């Protein structure tokens, strides 16, 4: 199983304490005032754990998902685990086999390639257009995010690095005066969320990615939007190449079960 510096689902590892049967959380609700309590079932909680693990790459393509082991690790019966896997299968993230364990679905290579090629162009453009509008406050935020990513690289916290990477780029793009451009980028990010798994699936790529972030930051500081945009575009194309290469080598992967038994 691919690991990420000891990190698991949702950046904090697949917890082994029991999942509460009905987990409350607050959310706005116009019918009940500013805050209403929303309850999540066990199946919903397990679904969220597993989905995040697949999206961030902690659970790599081809990884087998044993219902009994998952049930034991999460402290729930097998029924909510089965339901969670069924929901994940509907989302195209899991393949359910009638006579064997379910497994994490392969990367959607065709859709991923198209998505990242378009993103490379749009994100490079957004960076170039955002450059003249980046304030000292935003620059300080980007510096802070870069510092946090440096620390993630040092401790190989790849899940957290992926989260910060997204924040770093979106912080830049939000400075563009073109709202539709930003919306298109967000839409593309949400269409193929498994692109975020590049860091967990290819840990050796992370250091190169972070070097590029530092170069982007220096270009923005010097007011060179053209160079910053070109660096972002190249970074996205490199990530695409890494993911495509990983996806094309899946025949030799995905034979271990997850979670591992104690």
**Encoding tokens for residue 239?**
């990530």
**Encoding tokens for residue 114?**
């198209």
How far are the Cα atoms of 126, 143, 152, 230, 234 from residue 114, in angstroms, in the given order?
18, 31, 29, 19, 15
| Listed residue (10, 70, 64, 7) closest to 42, CA to CA | 70
| Listed residue (192, 188, 195) closest to 246, CA to CA | 195
Residue boundaries of the structural domains of the chain:
9-107, 109-248
Superfamily of domain 109-248, CATH level 4: GntR ligand-binding domain-like (1.20.120.530)
Residue 165: what pLDDT?
97
Please give the chain's pLDDT, 262 residues, in tens.
444 333 333 333 344 334 444 444 444 444 445 555 567 889 999 999 999 999 999 999 989 999 999 999 888 999 999 999 999 999 999 999 888 889 999 988 888 999 999 999 999 999 999 999 999 999 999 999 999 999 999 999 999 999 999 999 999 999 999 999 999 999 999 998 899 899 988 999 999 999 999 999 999 999 999 999 999 999 999 999 999 988 877 644 444 444 444 3
Residue 257: what pLDDT?
41
Q: What b-and-e string marks burial along 96-135, b requiring 16 or more CB atoms within 10 Å of the CB?
A: eeeeebbbbbebbeeebbebbeebbebbbbbbbbbbeebe
Residue 34: what pLDDT?
54
Q: Which residues, other chains included, contact 102 with Cβ-Cβ below 8 Å and sequence gap of 6+?
A: 64, 65, 67, 85, 89, 94, 95, 96
CATH number at 9-107: 1.10.10.10
SS3 221: helix
**Encoding tokens for residue 146?**
């870069």
**Encoding tokens for residue 1?**
């199983």
Please list the alpha-helical segments (H only) found in the chain.
Answer: 42-55, 67-74, 78-90, 109-130, 136-155, 158-173, 179-191, 198-201, 204-221, 225-248
**Encoding tokens for residue 157?**
């916290």
Chain center to CA of 180: 23
Contact 46, 70 (CB under 8 A): yes
- Rounded-to-integer distance, Cα 51 and Cα 90, Å: 12
Residue 51: what pLDDT?
93
- Rounded-to-integer distance, Cα 111 and Cα 43, Å: 28
| Listed residue (2, 83, 52) closest to 193, CA to CA | 52
**Encoding tokens for residue 171?**
């912080």
Q: What is the pTM of this model?
A: 0.76
Q: Which residues, other chains included, contact 228 with Cβ-Cβ below 8 Å and sequence gap of 6+?
A: 127, 128, 131, 172, 216, 219, 220
Residue 3: what pLDDT?
40
Residue 251: what pLDDT?
46
């Amino acid at each position: 199983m691919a690991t990420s510096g000891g990190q698991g689902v949702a950046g904090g590892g697949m917890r082994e304490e029991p999942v509460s049967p009905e987990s409350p959380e607050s959310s706005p609700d116009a019918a009940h005032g500013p805050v209403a309590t929303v309850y999540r079932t066990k199946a919903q909680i397990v679904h969220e754990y597993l989905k995040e693990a697949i999206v961030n790459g902690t659970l790599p393509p081809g990884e087998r998902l044993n219902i009994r082991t998952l049930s034991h690790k999460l402290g729930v019966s097998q029924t909510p685990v089965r339901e969670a896997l069924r929901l994940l299968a509907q989302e195209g993230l899991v393949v359910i086999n009638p006579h064997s364990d379910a497994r994490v679905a392969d990367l959607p290579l065709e859709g991923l390639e198209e998505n990242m090629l378009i993103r490379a162009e749009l994100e490079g453009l957004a960076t170039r257009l955002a450059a003249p509008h980046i304030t000292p406050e935003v620059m300080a935020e980007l510096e802070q995010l870069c510092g946090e990513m440096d620390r993630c690289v040092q401790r190989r916290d790849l899940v957290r690095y992926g989260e910060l990477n997204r924040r770093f780029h979106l912080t830049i793009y939000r400075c563009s005066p073109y709202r539709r451009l930003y919306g298109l980028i967000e839409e593309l990010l949400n269409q193929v969320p498994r692109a975020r798994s590049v860091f967990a699936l290819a840990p050796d790529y992370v250091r190169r990615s972070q070097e590029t972030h530092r170069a982007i930051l220096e270009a923005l500081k010097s007011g060179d939007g053209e160079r910053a945009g070109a660096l972002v575009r190249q970074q996205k194309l490199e990530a695409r190449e890494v993911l495509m290469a990983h996806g094309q080598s899946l025949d030799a992967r995905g034979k271990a079960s997850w979670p591992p038994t104690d």
